[in-house]
Amino acid sequence: MQKNLYFTGKNAAQKLRSWEGALEETRKHWKTLDRKNSALIVIDMQEYFLGSTSHAFVPTAAAITPNIQKLVQAYRKDNLPVIFTYFAVEKGEADPIGNWWGRSVVEGSKECKIVDQLAPKDGETVLRKSSYNSFSGTDLKKILESQNISQLVVTGVLSNLCCETTAREAFNLGMDVFFVMDATAAFTEQMHLASLLNLSCGFATPITADQLLHFSSVS
């Protein structure tokens, strides 16, 4: 697969205008974010996907990291839930991702580690998952329900795999889902935009990091 770095600090404004234009026809059913009823999920921003020597390296992941950092800081400031996931498989556990790709991540390996720039704080929720879906085999649904969270803000990698699968599941559970266009990334722009088009048509509201940050702080 030919991966590419399609989103950078220099071309961010141009790319966002282009994506927003492509999504305009799906706007009719988009939702309004109410941050006090939302949680931020940071999906799989770990060494497996951000380490440049890994076969699963996502070239654009480093470019979206500052936007995820800003969102994490904003949610922490407002005492709103920040949830981190990482992908890893324990010995003897079913491994659908490894079965498809031929490789996987072993629990406890350095590839599991969430990158230092996004290191969870003590007390924040960190969920290990063994599939694309952040809800499958985890306590994510129970955690959100226990805090009366009705909206989920999705960030991380990969847009078209774990992020899209999680967004669809959250929608199926009755949540309003917000997919941050410049805080999610795929191997290629074509894959990223395909996810944005699919999700914005029937599952999630696309939003930029700046748009999310400009919502009023929670009092």
List, for residues 83-106, the tens digit of each pLDDT value: 999 999 999 999 999 999 999 999
Confidence at residue 214, expressed as pLDDT on a 0 to 100 scale: 86
Q: Which domain holds residue 58?
A: 33-213
Confidence at residue 219, expressed as pLDDT on a 0 to 100 scale: 33
Confidence at residue 217, expressed as pLDDT on a 0 to 100 scale: 47
Region 49-77: mean pLDDT is 97
Region 4-9: mean pLDDT is 96
Q: Is the pLDDT of residue 216 over 90?
A: no
Is residue 190 one of the residues assigned to a domain? yes
Strands (E), the chain: 38-43, 82-87, 125-129, 151-157, 176-185, 205-207
Confidence at residue 114, expressed as pLDDT on a 0 to 100 scale: 98
Q: Is the pLDDT of residue 62 over 60?
A: yes
DSSP 161: I
**Sorting pLDDT into bands at 50, 70 and 90, what band is 1?**
confident
Is residue 16 one of the residues assigned to a domain? no
Is residue 5 one of the residues assigned to a domain? no
Is residue 28 one of the residues assigned to a domain? no
d(CA 138, CA 136): 6
Is residue 72 one of the residues assigned to a domain? yes
Q: In the 3-class helix/strand/coil scheme, how is 116-156 assigned residue by residue?
A: HHHCCCCCCEEEEECCCCCCCCCCHHHHHHHCCCCEEEEEE
Confidence at residue 94, expressed as pLDDT on a 0 to 100 scale: 94
The percentage of residues in the chain with a pLDDT greater than 70, rounded to a whole number, is 98
Q: Is the pLDDT of residue 120 over 70?
A: yes
d(CA 18, CA 114): 31
Confidence at residue 193, expressed as pLDDT on a 0 to 100 scale: 98
Peptide bond into 199 cis (omega under 30): no
d(CA 159, CA 155): 8
Confidence at residue 113, expressed as pLDDT on a 0 to 100 scale: 98
- CATH number for the domain including 178? 3.40.50.850
Is residue 21 one of the residues assigned to a domain? no
Q: How many CB atoms lie within 10 A of CB 75?
A: 22
User: What digits encode the pLDDT tens for the residues 195-210?
Assistant: 999 999 999 999 999 9
Is residue 136 one of the residues assigned to a domain? yes
Region 127-136: mean pLDDT is 98
Q: How many CB atoms lie within 10 A of CB 7?
A: 25
Is residue 89 one of the residues assigned to a domain? yes
Number of domains in the chain: 1
Element (H, E) at 123: none
